Chains A and B, each alone.
Chain A
Amino acid sequence: MDTFILYLVAAVCLVWSFVKSREKTRIALKKAWKSFENILPQFLVVLILVALCLSVLDTETISLFLGKNSGVWGVLAASLVGAITLIPGFVAFPAAAALMQGGAGVVQIAAFVSSLMMVGVVTLPLEIQYFGRRAALLRNLLAYIFSLVAAVWVGWVVGL
């Protein structure tokens, strides 16, 4: 659904641009292609890394870490798995909901969801390309620490 809207917005903008100036539209598309081609190698590496990670870390494996009584180690494991993997939301949320029904703890699920969203270890090659090693690593480290704080908070609020 959101992808459809994205296409719609891009199409409308493109037509508008084309009507206003054919020449500028041509330059814009050329730039779009150039910046895509520039980053393509990093994209390909990330794709392969994601495929490797996700084939080993499937929902069943993840659920091993996330039991209600898995405690601090469960939270740490959940956040690490979330940090490493890259799972689209429409796959991750139903999986998380299923895990929760299967007895996983809220804090563990929150740690998983938060770090999944904010931290991207497999996408680091891409991030480094744009932001440099230091900034990329720092952002991921801070986001990881923060996702643990967020998990405890969410667990507390849901338990109220």
Chain B
Amino acid sequence: MKPLLRRYAAVLVATVVFLAFLVLLPGYQGKALEILSFQTRTLLLVIPPIFVLLGLLDVWVPREKMIRFMGPGSGTKGITLAFLLGSFAAGPLYGAFPVAAVLMKKGASFPNILIFIGAWSTTKIPMLLFESSALGVRFTLARLAIDIVGIVVIAMAMMALLPKAEVEELYRQAEKIG
């Protein structure tokens, strides 16, 4: 564990920048603080259940089971499961990363992890309903169709472009932080 001060160095820098922004551009003060409090509330609201579920997943789902369902060689079953897990998720994309780390730790394959993140970002079902009422069914379905293709294409491109050793290193890292 790194010393506390070093871990929070970036937070300190960001805070100083934020304070400087407030002082130098007083016109934005009210808005910046309002957005900061809104985002903080969203984070505090969404994050606790995600991490509780993560902890439970970590303790209760055996590695062998995860490998069978989402590991290398899980094929269409793994891809479908990755899509479903991401689509039924709630919360902003940043909630997906810690979940992905635990899935990696449990042995889900890297393409499936990428599909999971892609699904979390674009095919979340509650959001789709909301989107179609705001922007129209045609808009939403057209976007959904191309994004499903895109998620798979991006996952394949990442697999082709990332060196194998790098992916293995990410798995070792997930072991530590998950």
Contacts and interface: CB of A to CB of B under 8 A. Distances in A.
Nearest to A27: B59
A64 interface: no
B174 A130 contact: yes
A24 B8 CA distance: 31
Interface of B: 7-8, 10-11, 14-15, 17-18, 21, 28, 31-33, 35-36, 39-40, 42-43, 45-56, 58-60, 90-94, 97-98, 100-102, 114, 117-118, 121-122, 124, 126-127, 130-131, 134-136, 138-139, 142-143, 146-147, 150, 153-154, 157-158, 161-162, 166-167, 169-170, 173-174, 177-178
A14 B56 contact: yes
A6 B49 contact: yes
A81 interface: no
A96 interface: yes
Interface string A1-31: 1110111011101100100000011011111
Q: What's the interface size class on A, roughly?
A: 35 or more
Interface centre among B7, B47, B48, B59 (most CB of A within 10 A): B59
Given A41-B10, A45-B10, A118 B121 contact: yes
B43 A97 contact: no
A77 interface: no
A113 interface: yes
Interface string A111-136: 00110011010010111011110110
User: Which 8 A/B pairs are nearest by Cβ-Cβ distance?
Assistant: A32-B55, A10-B49, A28-B55, A93-B134, A157-B142, A51-B36, A2-B90, A2-B126
Contacts of A55: 28, 31-32, 35
Given A89-B124, A146-B154, 18 more contacts: A3-B46, A6-B91, A13-B56, A14-B52, A28-B52, A35-B54, A35-B177, A110-B139, A114-B122, A114-B143, A117-B122, A127-B97, A130-B101, A138-B161, A139-B158, A150-B147, A154-B143, A158-B138
